[in-house]
């Protein structure tokens, strides 16, 4: 193969490959930013609103490329009619508002591990892509 042909093949390969790498880098960069944002939010909540922080049972987060938002799926411990419950909702980490108002907020009995897992997975799948 002649040198100009090799150079053009290498150039075309780079031309096609670099945007894919850059896109992947952008996703990783935003995921890192999201992780720092959530960590800072949780630390602020722990210090400034310890009563609220004490109700957080579990949380997951991820940068949503399609929604251009850092999404947190949070499980809060609460009560309803004297029974322990878990409230599960997806929240935008920037606005701290539920992702679709209160349309997809789940309230399940604390002992319902399968229901808690299903609701958490549903919200995480819906909002994190």
Largest CA distance in the chain: 80
Per-residue pLDDT of 18-74, as tens digits, reads 454 344 445 678 999 999 999 999 999 999 999 999 999 999 999 998 888 999 999
Residue span of the structural domain in which 38 resides:
3-127
What does the alpha-carbon distance between residue 21 and residue 74 come to, in Å, rounded to a whole number? 32
Give whole-number Cα distances, 92 to 51, 77, 119, in Å. 21, 19, 17
DSSP per residue, 31-53: HHHHHHHHHHHHHHHHHH-HHHH
Block residue for tokens 């411990």: 77
pLDDT over 70 (residue 15):
no
How many structural domains compose the chain? 1
Percent of the chain with pLDDT over 90: 58
Amino acid 21: pLDDT: 39
Question: Rounded CA gap, 23 and 34, in Å?
Answer: 17
pLDDT of residue 24: 47
Cα distances from 99 to residues 67, 91, 114, 121, 123, in angstroms, run: 10, 5, 23, 15, 10
């Amino acid at each position: 193969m002649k040198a100009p042909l090799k150079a053009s093949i290498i150039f075309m390969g780079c031309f096609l490959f670099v945007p894919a790498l850059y896109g992947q880098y952008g996703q990783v960069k935003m995921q890192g930013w999201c992780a720092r944002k959530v960590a800072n939010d949780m630390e602020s909540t722990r210090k400034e609103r310890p009563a609220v922080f004490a109700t957080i049972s579990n949380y997951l987060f991820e940068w949503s490329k399609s929604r251009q938002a850092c999404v947190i799926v949070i499980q809060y411990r609460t009560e309803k009619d004297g029974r322990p419950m878990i409230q599960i909702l997806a929240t935008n980490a920037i606005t701290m508002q539920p992702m679709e108002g209160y349309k997809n907020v789940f309230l399940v009995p604390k002992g319902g591990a399968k229901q808690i897992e299903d609701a958490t997975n549903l919200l995480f799948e819906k909002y994190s892509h």
